[in-house]
Structure 1
Amino acid sequence: MGHSAAVWDSRLALETVKDWNGIDQIVLRNPLGGSARVSLHGGQVISWRNERGEELLFTSSKAIFKPPKAMRGGIPICFPQFGNCDSIEQHGFARNKIWTVDDDPPPLPTNDSQGKAYVDLLLKPSEEDLKVWPHSFEFRLRVSLGMDGNLTLISRIRNVNGKPFSFSFGYHSHLSVSDISEVRIEGLETMDYFDNLSKRERFTEQGDAITFESEIDRVYLGSPNCVAVLDHERKRTYVIKKEGLPDVVVWNPWDKKSKAMSDLGDDEYKQMLCVDGAAIEKPITLKPGEEWTGRMEIAVVPSSFCSEDL
């Protein structure tokens, strides 16, 4: 355990491996044994493990790992569209593109690199993308794994276009849980939400925590920047902190919808919960040359605490 952050060289904590389609994946490691794996297909985090090697993200046993299908699980990046839109595929095209490693990204604040293993990825539109969504952008994504095991995603989207454009965005985070009926979310009490199961009607959250006994598909609006997902059985809590992402999507397909999904096992809905940092209600508009930053950090802590401690 005798690694100090000063001696530990985060660049040595990167390894590139190929998946069975020949697409590169970057593996990040910290000295305590935690790891994260990022695929250049979609810039998607497909694994995040703690120092005991336990997987913290859910991936379906039936996930299809073949472009142009986004993989069911991990953290797909939804851009420039979250949800459905007539002209763009569901959740946008970023999660289906091959990203490149960005060797010379513009600097981020120092606390975003000190003591962290990280990789910087870049996505620019192809000619084909511009036909579907005619806006030039540079999308920089940094995925980092801290000494503390925390996983951080920082997205920077710049308009390199001659005219303004707007987009919606989400980190579609599939968290691994012991049993969905034993899980609760704290931090969204009293929030308004759109209910996608009733034609996006607007409601106000009444409970003092969100618990699960049926399908849920909601967008909580103007939500606090810290939300906790408590897994009672595993006695652990995911603490999600976000910046630049006003909304939180909460999704679980439950049994009927799971059976209809070819890339999700019939009972796998019990082991997963999506809690996404997102910008949906008010799309982000960038003028030429402007840049937007959206960041999300996920920590896992023992559940002996409650959300007042945050």
Structure 2
Amino acid sequence: MALEQTYSNGSGSQFTINLCGATVTSWKIGEEEILFCSKKAIRDGSKAIRGGIPLVFPNFGPWELGPQHGFARNKQWKLDTDSVKDQDENPSWTFILEDDEGTRNMWNKRFRLEYTVQLFIDTLKTSLYVNNTGEDSFSFTTLLHTYFRVDNIKDTRIKGLQNLKYVDKVNGGEHKEERELVCIDENYDRIYKDRVDNVTLYPDNNQSSITREISTNLPDIVVWNPWIEKAKGMSDFDDNEYLNMICVEVGAVSKPLTLAPGNKMVASQTIKVGQKSKI
């Protein structure tokens, strides 16, 4: 099977997934691209893909046992062929990653990850099922690292973060978000904790915008944009691409999750493309 495959629902919605990391690199409704993927992204499996929806597991951030953000976004996944049978009008596909000698050398745990991608006319649902197949409990952090395409980051707004506490990974400290509409005008890397509401992304301008409604069962939201200087330092990211992307990432990263032997949990997000509306 080729490294990248494209799947559609027959109603004008389609996604492309790279089996390196089971990274969704594109989601289109008709001709409109919803996700951002760098034109310099490495797609041959030699490193994690810069864009789309990389999967973070079993660790968010720098990791003393292995690569930053864990190994799931670097490993080769496989399609569960049974998952594509008897599809209805909202089809889904499931991709599998299990522990192997390489993962156990880094993190000596037994697991099975099942990543399901489901297409609707105007919605993409991604669900990462974590199964503990070993005899001991394990703890982990996880994140769906979604890159959204925007026309201009200077016009982009995010709603749904007001009154949340956040950790500022650029400037340090924990703070409270006072703004109803969050805008980005600098190197931005913040973990918003204990999410209550859904998050709405206005990707176009502050007059009217076709929204992206993001819902999840996870507690944390990470918002990231590298801005000018950091963009210049990334070899797999064009210098000016920071203008056309924003990461709004759902996850459980501020506190590890613990999974008992034989148990499973799901980390899911639903992205719905809404109607044009004024902010």
Contact 1:28 1:117 in 2 (8 A): no
Among 74, 96, 104, the residue aligned to 2:74: 96
2:226 is the alignment partner of 1:253 = yes
Partner of 1:278: 251
- The secondary structure found in structure 2 opposite 1:270 is helix
User: How has the CA–CA distance of structure 1 residues 242 and 225 changed in structure 2, closer, same or farther, with 3 Å as cutoff?
Assistant: farther
Partner residue in 2 for 1:29: 8
Matched, 1:268 2:241: yes
RMSD over equivalenced CA pairs, Å = 1.5
1:128 correspondence with 2:102: yes
Shift of 1:114: 4.9
1:225 positional shift: 4.5
- Match for residue 50 of structure 2 among 52, 58, 72: 72
Question: Match for 2:79: what amino acid?
Answer: V
Match in the other structure for 2:38: 60
Which residue is 2:163 aligned to?
Answer: 190
Match of 2:258, SS state, is: strand
Instruction: Kindly provide the amino acid, as one letter, of the partner of residue 40 in structure 2.
Output: K
Q: Which residue of 1 aligns with 2:210?
A: 236
2:266 maps to what in 1?
293
Aligned pairs (5 A) from 1:7-26: 18=2, 23=3, 25-26=4-5
Instruction: Work out the number of aligned pairs and report it.
Output: 274
Query: SS of the residue aligned with 2:231?
Result: helix
- Output the CA distance in 2 between the equivalents of 1:259 and 1:189: 31
Partner Cα separation in structure 1 for residue 227 and residue 81 of structure 2: 42
- TM-superposed CA distance for 1:28, in Å, is 1.9
Deviation at 1:31, TM superposition (A): 2.5
Moved more, 216-225 or 169-178: 216-225
Please tell me whether residue 42 in structure 1 is matched to residue 14 in structure 2.
no
Deviations 1:78-111 (A, max 9, x none): 0001111111201110011111112346xxxxxx
Gaps of 5+ in 2: none
Structure-2 separation of matches of 1:225 and 1:121: 29
- Which whole-Å CA distance do the structure 1 matches of 2:88 and 2:39 have between them? 35
Residues 88-144 of structure 1 deviation map (CA, whole Å, 9 limit, x = unaligned): 201110011111112346xxxxxxx75312111110011111010000001001011
Q: Name the amino acid aligned to 1:294.
A: A
Cα distance between partner residues in 2 of 1:225 and 1:296: 13
TM-score normalised by length of structure 1: 0.85
Q: Which stretch has the larger CA shift, 66-75 or 188-197?
A: 66-75
Determine the structure 2 residue equivalent to 1:172.
145
State how far apart, in whole Å, the 2-side matches of 1:83 and 1:225 are.
25
Moved over 6 A (4+): none
Secondary structure of 2:73's aligned partner:
helix
| Aligned AA (2:77) | W
Q: Show the 5 A alignment for 1:215-226.
A: 215-226=187-198
Query: SS of the residue aligned with 1:86?
Result: coil
**Equivalent pair of 1:231/1:303 in contact (CA under 8 Å):** no
CA deviation string 1:36-80 (max 9, x = no partner): 1112111110110012x1211111111111223011010000000
Cα drift, residue 305 of structure 1? 5.8
- How far apart, CA to CA, are the structure 1 residues paired with 2:112 and 2:148? 28
Separation of aligned partners in 2, 1:223 and 1:241: 10
**TM-score, normalised by the number of residues in structure 2:** 0.94
Partner SS state of residue 103, structure 2: helix
Q: C-alpha distance in 2, partners of 1:26/1:50?
A: 17
* Cα distance in 2 for residues equivalent to 1:131 and 1:242: 32
Amino acid at match of 1:46: T
* 2:135 is equivalent to residue 162 of structure 1: yes
Match of 2:174 among 189, 202, 205: 202
Preserved CA contact (<8 Å) 2:149 2:203: no
